[in-house]
Structure 1
Amino acid sequence: MAAAALVGVGVGDVSRAHATMAAIQLFTGEYHHESTQSAMDESPAETAPVAEARNGGSERTPEELVAKCIAPVKKQFLRPPPIRGLSNDQSDAVPEGKSKASQTSVVKEKKSKRQLKRERQQAVKSAVGICPEVAKSGDVSRCPYKDKCRFSHDVEAYKAQKPDDIEGECPFMTAQETCPFGLACRFLGSHKDGVEGGDVSAHRRSSEVNGLTKDVQKLLWKNKMKFPKADAKLKALGLEGNAKSKIKILEDKEDDQIVSNNCDGGLDETCPDDESRPLKKTRSVIEEEICSGEVDDGGVSAAKEAAEQTSTIPEPEATVGIVLPESDRSLRLHPREKKLIDFREKLYLAPLTTVGNLPFRRVCKVLGADITCGEMAMCTNLLQGQASEWALLRRHSSEDLFGVQICGAYPDTVAHTVELIDQECQVDFIDINMGCPIDIVVNKGAGSALLTKPMRMKGIVHAASGTVDCPITIKVRTAYFEGKNRIDSLIADMGNWGASAVTIHGRSRQQRYSKLADWEYVYQCARKASKALPVLGNGDIFSYVDWNKHKAECPELSTCMIARGALIKPWIFTEIKEQRHWDISSGERLNILKDYVRLGLEHWGSDTKGVETTRRFLLEWLSYTCRYVPVGLLDVIPQRLNWRPPSYYGRDDLETLMASDSAADWVRISEMLLGKVPDGFTFAPKHKSNSYDRAENG
């Protein structure tokens, strides 16, 4: 059957043919674990170009492939790569009845905010936007707003346009309660107690925390929220009021002078190595002078020592009439007296933008992760009460050791944010991102931009740690510019700033994700840090071998943070704990995806909106998992994170489908789990890894 299906199929259509067979077999229940390679052996003779391509790839030895950063897949599984006229994320992903040209135009179409708002309002008023209260029970009289409700009450019209139910059980019916979405649930056929629905917020309160209350949100919207602890600490540090703008002006003047003396361009150009670079002399009330990496490590000026002594003594006048006695005591809390978190030997799932959502973290917890951290949230957005940003702080009850990561450019912004989080959320630690390389973050002075302003780094950590009792950790990169590492000159003082732990990503901002992480430099920093300051390493951990290697070579490291390795294969936590290479089957991988979908529906909802939100995040995750090469297909194990997976056949049709780098195949996998996509559906990955590409600024 498989051989017959491939007769007459061109080289560029091989991937689609196998994907289609897998999808049909899975939908009809005829899926079987049959070797795809044996089916290909029964196909007609290959054309000369195809045979030449395949033989050319098989002539290289595994050692030669590894040297070229190509995954050494066994020869019998190799196949010629599919030929596509468009990019991977757009080719083949064309709905029926539409041409690729029209599809491309749809993907590139950009709508204004006003147009998007108008479309949302129209959707709410149409039959699609049925009133949630009516959907729960099917009874129009249940809506408390009656005719003034902005949603539709036409139940029959809603049923007429509602998509077909998805096969499977409603994720909410297993929780000993009724489904909170009622008629709107896409699994309505599996409801045993009729249409009557429960309360969505009540269900989430039973398992999720860290929501933003309406009262606090309104105060944030009106800019009337008070931050007594943060303001008192900022005043004690001399950073309140206009101090921020004054510091910024002085720092900008210094940066302009350094750039004009040493560089021809701006921040995006690498400065030449110059040992005669003038030291920064800017000071506020008690800010200290910090060497920027071009002076001897042991050189500490008298001004720095005096500033350190002053910074440890709180000013009583700054807190009189501003904070309560218990808040006043928290300002005097020394960093060493804070609650400590034992990071040693624990498996730490890094905060991952977009994909590191709550359902994904729950999957990783089941697979062995010990510490989880929410996605990076911008301080300015949190202080504005943006619901979408506060959603990044959500915590599930299964996350027993959980932190949130925030990103801000100035001490007052970060201090206000940590006080707000400490008041409204349940977290074990707060991580401050000082290494994000994204342009939109760096251009605002946050993320990696702080690496060029060590005094501001100190001010942020000092203010944040002095505001709350919760441990404050920081995450940094080696430097802003490639070849200008500076963390080794700062890490000895970071504990005195108030940091409870430091995570070092072994790359510079300019490097982004190109080349391998510099673990030797991470080791160097870990050895220079004080014994009381836990140092965590980050970068390119993709197997238990990598984990063991870093721990053995540098015992000073408390643990290692796992980021992209968990995106590509979340069972890496199981491999590390069990010290084995897991040759996971395609069926086991599909079960992990099923668990993710179930958890996603619980989190985002089982109505149409929740299903499509789950689908979108699933597709984002699949854009990473396709880079995994099964252990049984490799000549050399373990797989390294910088290896390019060649085009290959899996040991069965599902494994072949999961190896595809085409967005069309990812969509087909999502249809196996979440039903058919809506008409006109398109998908392009939000984050396309450039680990194999040239660094943007290099």
Structure 2
Amino acid sequence: MDESSKELVEDSEVSKDPPSSKSDGAQLTPEELVAKSIAPVKRDFLRPPPVRASSTDGNKDDASESKAVPSNLLKEKKSKRQLKRERRQEQKSPLHICPEIAKTGNVSSCPYNNNCRFSHDLEAFKAQKPADLEGNCPFMSDEGPCPYGLACRFSGTHKDGVPDGTSKKKNSEMNGLKKDVQKLLWKNKMRFPKADAKLKLLGLMGHINSKKKMLDEKEEDVQTVSNGSHANDENCCGEGASDSIDKVEHSPKVPEEDDVDGVLETDELRPLKKAKPVIDEYCCSGEEGVNVMEEDFGKICTQTEPETTTDNILAEPDISLKLHPREKKLIDFRGKLYLAPLTTVGNLPFRRVCKVLGADVTCGEMAMCTNLLQGQASEWALLRRHSSEDLFGVQICGAYPDTVSRTVELIDRECTVDFIDINMGCPIDIVVNKGAGSSLLTKPMRMKNIIQAASGTVDKPVTVKVRTGYFEGRNRIDSLIEDIGHWGASAVTIHGRSRQQRYSKLADWEYIYQCARKAPVALQVLGNGDISSYLDWNKHKSDCPELSTCMLARGALIKPWIFTEIKEQRHWDIGSGERLNILKDYVHFGLEHWGSDSKGVETTRHFLLEWLSYTYRYIPVGLLDVIPQRLNWRPPSYFGRDDLETLMASDSAADWVRISEILLGKVPDGFKFAPKHKSNAYDRAENG
């Protein structure tokens, strides 16, 4: 560990007081501690909780305690208007240098000149730019210069000085959102012939027939006006006409009988809009985005009647020529180490770390179908894949068959994935209230329609992730498991908890076994919940041979080397230096993914801190009286075997920030952080 690291460790808030025999749990036997879900740390390493002037972890559930948290660790809630004002002010700052000028070092290189929204004051940027970070530029090994040029926080290590901007960095990531596709999605002009044909075959298009007739009548009125005496009126044939159509297209859909409270967000309805007739537009337009649909519309460009075109688009090909679900290309999950899709922390750099440590299957973070169909770049970023992810899937979440099937077709067309997973178990309120996630567990017919529509639209395997049920004590997946296989799913992952339960109790693996034994042969069943060591993995696999594999989630967040432990069948007593090297790899991957400029560095820092809010819960094997560690154990205050290990065991967000400063330099002035997920908050009902 370098000198700066040692100084930060020594300056941490971790107390150096000797262990006290009166500290919590010190007089209890290891067995008694385990019964109370307290980690049985060896007495030689125990210490009383550190005394701080004020609570600094920023993650207490008690509102009264959270008031004492220093302001630099709490996120201040701001309105959208305030955030927009701050962004505009930031853009005017000399530090917000134009990317083109940063790449080339030439002020005249920007094609927008004075109309550019970024700063062109190169000298002011150089004067105010923060000092370079220690280490080398993450893009040094790529062909060509660093894509961030002078804005790179490692610009002093660039070999060729100021780049000329003619070369491009070697990108090992895929599944980016193309601009022409995004424009089609924005304008609602993207066509989904396969999905619509399948929906029509299943009889799931009837509820929007009335909307189609209304749109057709509106379009005829617009065409009549545009060809009449007001043809030169901008409000009739220009923006005003399209705006009037958009108002009709955005009309809310009639809720189905089983909708939650009979009301749904309008975002869930947008994919059901019917765009204007596109025959002339796609035949005559010179836009690049039209190429996306050439194959689908090549045979119908000579048609002139809108109704005929719709019928041809939705026509179902000969059913005898379509692949049966069992004849599709399947993925054999048996025995493979599957990293679960993890919200916020399961980003591409984290998945790369897990791949290095032995993960076989990776899956992107859950993406909402409505956001993908609207062309939101932030949502499409969740679909990105690294070349090292040789077996990769994406997870989507939607409430209706049409949104899900169209999203599946779009992903199949635009992305390179091996399988598509549909989340039907997400417990988050904002998702459930829209009728998606765990809400679908109360609507088996909706589940059936979604799975049938999605699996019938694409040839790639479609998998499903569920919980045991919506309400505690009312499990229902065992009664649906056979149907899920017949509906077209290739595999189903069962998280052994209900939606209502969340994480308040251990996962019910006996129920997972029961479902696996009931499943049809063609349906692979994966278990999920509370796997924290290779012994847990071995037990579940041996107790139920019908189980294809187990998915690892929180266990991988707390110790990503669990994949190595399972493959090597050992408890890895990993040292603090080895753990720091893993964090260094994450930072390197993060800078490659989010960028090596100031914005990329701080984004990497943010997600690193989110991950550290999980990793601090790991207790080294050499410090435990009983191994392996369980996920529901609360770690007491303890010393590590060295200062860095002690720092990594701290539950203080201030100490997590110190670790980030070891890897990414000092935090900027006014830095604030509070974990998005209260991963260090233990439910009292869980621990008696």
Same fold, TM-score > 0.5, yes or no: yes
Match of 2:33 in 1: 65
Whether 1:345 and 2:345 are equivalent positions in the alignment is no
Whether 1:629 and 2:596 are equivalent positions in the alignment is no
Whether 1:224 and 2:203 are equivalent positions in the alignment is no
Distance 1:589 1:252, change over 3 A: closer
User: C-alpha deviations, 1:25-80, integer Å up to 9, x for none?
Assistant: 5267999xxxx99x96xx7xx6xxx83533x5321100000011111000000000
Q: 1:654 aligns with which of 644, 648, 663?
A: 644
Q: Mean Cα displacement is larger for which, 368-377 or 219-228? A: 219-228
Distance 1:691 1:506, change over 3 A: farther
Q: How big is the shift at 1:87?
A: 4.9
Match of 1:322 in 2: 313
Distance 1:549 1:184, change over 3 A: same
Whether 1:166 and 2:133 are equivalent positions in the alignment is yes
User: C-alpha deviations, 1:564-596, integer Å up to 9, x for none?
Assistant: 000000000000000000000000000000000
Pairs within 5 Å for 1:64-83: 64-83=32-51
SS in 1 for 2:499: coil
Over aligned residue pairs, what C-alpha RMSD do you find?
Answer: 2.9
In 2, the alpha carbon distance for the partners of 1:451 and 1:380 equals 20
In 1, the alpha carbon distance for the partners of 2:186 and 2:568 equals 49
Match of 1:107 in 2: 74
In 2, the alpha carbon distance for the partners of 1:362 and 1:433 equals 22
Match of 2:97 in 1: 130
Letter in structure 1 aligned against 2:5: L
In 2, the alpha carbon distance for the partners of 1:669 and 1:656 equals 11
Pairs within 5 Å for 1:93-492: 103-104=70-71, 107=74, 109-196=76-163, 198=165, 202-203=168-169, 206-242=171-207, 248-252=255-259, 321-322=312-313, 332-492=322-482
User: C-alpha deviations, 1:620-652, integer Å up to 9, x for none?
Assistant: 000000000000000000001111111100000
Q: How big is the shift at 1:106?
A: 8.3
Match of 2:582 in 1: 592
Contact 1:568 1:624 in 2 (8 A): yes
SS in 2 for 1:537: strand
User: C-alpha deviations, 1:510-567, integer Å up to 9, x for none?
Assistant: 0101110000000000000001110000000000000000000000000000000000
Q: How big is the shift at 1:188?
A: 1.0
SS in 1 for 2:644: helix
User: C-alpha deviations, 1:362-412, integer Å up to 9, x for none?
Assistant: 000000000000000000110111000000000000000000000000101
Letter in structure 2 aligned against 1:160: A
Whether 1:610 and 2:578 are equivalent positions in the alignment is no
Match of 2:5 in 1: 26
SS in 1 for 2:74: helix
Distance 1:30 1:534, change over 3 A: closer
Q: How big is the shift at 1:224?
A: 1.5
- Gaps of at least 5 residues in structure 1 are 1-21, 93-99, 257-316
Contact 1:180 1:197 in 2 (8 A): no
Contact 2:200 2:314 in 1 (8 A): no
Contact 2:75 2:674 in 1 (8 A): no
Contact 1:183 1:195 in 2 (8 A): yes
Contact 1:575 1:582 in 2 (8 A): yes
Contact 1:23 1:669 in 2 (8 A): no
Distance 1:695 1:401, change over 3 A: farther
Distance 1:497 1:30, change over 3 A: closer
Match of 1:311 in 2: none
In 2, the alpha carbon distance for the partners of 1:324 and 1:363 equals 46
Distance 1:198 1:365, change over 3 A: farther
Contact 1:504 1:535 in 2 (8 A): yes
Contact 2:478 2:518 in 1 (8 A): yes
Match of 2:20 in 1: 51
Match of 1:681 in 2: 671
Letter in structure 2 aligned against 1:626: Y
In 2, the alpha carbon distance for the partners of 1:105 and 1:663 equals 10
Contact 2:21 2:27 in 1 (8 A): no
Letter in structure 1 aligned against 2:584: K
Q: How big is the shift at 1:146?
A: 1.6
SS in 2 for 1:70: coil
Contact 2:397 2:436 in 1 (8 A): yes
Contact 1:583 1:631 in 2 (8 A): yes
In 2, the alpha carbon distance for the partners of 1:420 and 1:182 equals 35
SS in 1 for 2:20: helix
Letter in structure 1 aligned against 2:432: V
Q: How big is the shift at 1:130?
A: 0.5
In 2, the alpha carbon distance for the partners of 1:86 and 1:331 equals 70
Letter in structure 2 aligned against 1:601: L
Letter in structure 1 aligned against 2:174: V
Letter in structure 2 aligned against 1:81: P
Paired residues in the alignment total: 592
Contact 1:514 1:691 in 2 (8 A): no
Q: 2:58 aligns with which of 90, 108, 112?
A: 90
Q: How big is the shift at 1:176?
A: 3.8
Pairs within 5 Å for 1:536-615: 536-615=526-605
Contact 1:515 1:691 in 2 (8 A): no
SS in 2 for 1:242: helix
Distance 1:124 1:318, change over 3 A: closer
Q: How big is the shift at 1:323?
A: 5.9
Distance 1:442 1:83, change over 3 A: farther
In 2, the alpha carbon distance for the partners of 1:195 and 1:424 equals 35
Q: How big is the shift at 1:691?
A: 6.9
Letter in structure 2 aligned against 1:158: F
Contact 2:348 2:385 in 1 (8 A): yes
Distance 1:515 1:87, change over 3 A: farther
Distance 1:141 1:541, change over 3 A: same
SS in 2 for 1:587: helix
Contact 1:349 1:566 in 2 (8 A): yes
Q: 1:666 aligns with which of 656, 663, 668?
A: 656
Letter in structure 2 aligned against 1:461: I
Q: How big is the shift at 1:173?
A: 0.7
Distance 1:324 1:450, change over 3 A: closer
Match of 2:499 in 1: 509
SS in 2 for 1:322: helix
Distance 1:319 1:544, change over 3 A: farther
SS in 2 for 1:174: coil
Q: Mean Cα displacement is larger for which, 233-242 or 575-584? A: 233-242
Q: How big is the shift at 1:219?
A: 1.1
Contact 2:59 2:681 in 1 (8 A): no
Contact 1:437 1:512 in 2 (8 A): yes
In 1, the alpha carbon distance for the partners of 2:164 and 2:666 equals 25
Q: How big is the shift at 1:111?
A: 1.3
Q: How big is the shift at 1:690?
A: 7.0
Give the structure-2-normalised TM-score.
0.81
Distance 1:648 1:198, change over 3 A: farther
In 1, the alpha carbon distance for the partners of 2:659 and 2:335 equals 36
Contact 1:233 1:331 in 2 (8 A): no
Letter in structure 2 aligned against 1:180: P
Contact 2:397 2:404 in 1 (8 A): yes
Contact 1:84 1:91 in 2 (8 A): no
Identity of aligned residues (%): 76
Q: How big is the shift at 1:676?
A: 0.4
